[in-house]
Amino acid sequence: MMDLPNLIPATLQRRYKRFLADVVLDDGTPLTVHCPNTGAMTGCAPDGARVWLSHSNSKTRKYPHTWELVETPQGMACIHSARANKVVREGIEQGRLPEFAAYPSIQSEVRYGEGSRADLLLSNDDARVFVEVKSVTLCLEEGLGAFPDAVSARGQKHIRELVGALDERTRAVLLFCVMHEGIQRVTGARHIDPAYCETLAAGIGAGLEVQAWRCAVSDAALTLTEPLPFSLDAV
């Protein structure tokens, strides 16, 4: 479980310029806040939605508040995509992902490939695992979650780099951290980025492993809880 800072409730007015959102606090105070998500955030930014904010005391920030959570018709979602890496790392450290128990060393942001950084590198004396974490918040019909929610050339590059790292002592795992409580299963968003799905299919054929894990979302904590089904072409 990853505890969140004390969050401030508000009402969303609009998201714009990718990194900004206007909200109104419960006391009526209007604020412009930082939006830490570069994706389309489809379904996660409806006008008038209940949202939760964190606050930074940094003197260098123009917008000290950060949008963290949103309440959607399908359930709570965490739109702060960088939190997924920390949630997964904490889950591994706490033994929630038992298949990684054999790798006691955990490093973050490790350089590899052609200028890429692995979100996590797990290792022991004999083997290692590169783990790329992706936050999933796009909730389609009937509990189906999809990635990506926007065309992602960067995501394709990550898949190719992971495949390039494979050898007899190296595994590569693409881990979808599902940060939307309405999602029950995960697929590739072929209707949004067919090239990404084709790259992913080729990666799986070359030995890339894919996992999806549910993250329970509340205004107090984020917790990796259980694996979810993944199929590249689920409908």
**Per-residue pLDDT tens digits for 144-164:** 999 999 999 999 999 999 999
Closest CA to 219 of 100, 114, 67: 67
Q: Kindly state the average pLDDT of the residues 42-47.
A: 95
Amino acid occupying residue 9: P
What pairing do the DSSP bridges indicate for beta strands 185-188 and 170-178? unpaired
Has residue 185 got a pLDDT over 60?
Answer: yes
Token match 């990684």: residue? 100
At 34 the pLDDT is 98
Residues of the chain with pLDDT > 90: what percent? 96
At 162 the pLDDT is 97
Cα 202 from Cα 232, distance rounded (Å): 11
Token match 């809880």: residue? 225
Q: Which residues pair with 11 in a beta bridge?
A: 24, 50
100 CB-near residues (< 8 Å, 6+ apart) = 92, 122, 129
Tell me the whole-structure pTM to 2 decimals: 0.95
Sheet holding 138-139, edge to edge: 138-139, 144-147, 185-188
pLDDT band at 234 (very low <50, low <70, confident <90, very high): low
Whether 170 contacts 127, CB under 8 Å = yes
At 235 the pLDDT is 57
Whether 135 contacts 180, CB under 8 Å = no
